[in-house]
Amino acid sequence: MSVEIPVGKKVQVKVPGSSANLGPGFDTLGLAVGIYDYVEVEVIDSGLEVEVTGEGAGEVPLDERHLVVRALREGLKAADVTVRGLRVSCNNSIPQSRGLGSSAAAAVAGVTAANGLAGFTLDNRKLIQLASTFEGHPDNAAASVLGHAVVSWTNVPVDGRTAPQYFASRINVHEDIRITALVPDFHASTEAVRRVLPTDVSHLDARFNVSRTAVMTVALRDDPSLLWEGTRDRLHQTYRAEVLPITAEWVNRLRNQGYPAFLSGAGPTIMVLSTEAIDDSLLEEAKGRGIRVHELKVAGPVEVTVQ
């Protein structure tokens, strides 16, 4: 029998954004970055109240369609608990649809808030499974759950009926690595950007990305001098350049000057992982063209506080 959570119980969630792929690790590598959404959930007598401030305010639905609410419902169901009503307040700093994991962060916020309300009965493995279901791949969600960098993978059952299973393992990021995100002032649809990818790739390109993904895991954990080589890619960024010309321009410019730059997720954000600061003149030029620049730290895992 389900347990009903008492009215008045409240949780607060601080969830980091994330960058996926990191160059070659398509749908596999992820990194938690220090830009956060804050979500507060309170059990109330009845109904649903949703408030959103910051990024996405006035653009996202304020009802059961809201992603935090949908994930929250799934988390409560998985924990086998019920509530009479919910008040959900979101204060967002993660830019929406920019390749910084805003949707994954919302899903993680919902399932971890539910877990906090239920008394933390769900482990990280279950949280990653629940949150990744909304994304269809675990790289962003796992990074927000576990913090630092992650290697993630998906097992698709051959029976065609059982749901995919999502997994991830954390990589502690070298302390010298710094993050710079250049965020253009336009949205990118993940589905639209995926449509330009070919259905088949050459064995040569696949082999190239396998090797660079392996290099990238070593660069992240042990040897940041390998970051430029580790962020090289032949599977997706070249194809996406045609629909993200501004992003492609800045990735190429930065890489040509020796900075390990890559497309963050589906874009349009340009991400640089390095041990040295980017030349100020480049950043000022980017700002002059309407590109926001964020100097970020590697983030830890999602945090949940129960009141």
143 is in an annotated binding site: no
100 is in an annotated binding site: yes
95 is in an annotated binding site: yes
d(CA 217, CA 76) in angstroms, rounded, equals 35
103 is in an annotated binding site: yes
Tokens of 119: 């008394």
Contact residues for 200 (Cβ-Cβ < 8 A; gap 6+): none
d(CA 32, CA 284) in angstroms, rounded, equals 25
Q: Are 9 and 298 in contact (CB under 8 A)?
A: no
d(CA 153, CA 167) in angstroms, rounded, equals 5
Strands 47-54 and 85-92: parallel
d(CA 190, CA 264) in angstroms, rounded, equals 11
Tokens of 307: 């009141």
98 is in an annotated binding site: yes
Tokens of 289: 């063209």
Tokens of 140: 């962003």
Three-state DSSP at 219 gives: helix
Rg (CA), the chain: 19
102 is in an annotated binding site: yes
105 is in an annotated binding site: yes
265 is in an annotated binding site: no
12 is in an annotated binding site: no
Tokens of 77: 């169901």
| Binding-site sequence positions for ATP | 95-105
| Binding-site sequence positions | 95-105
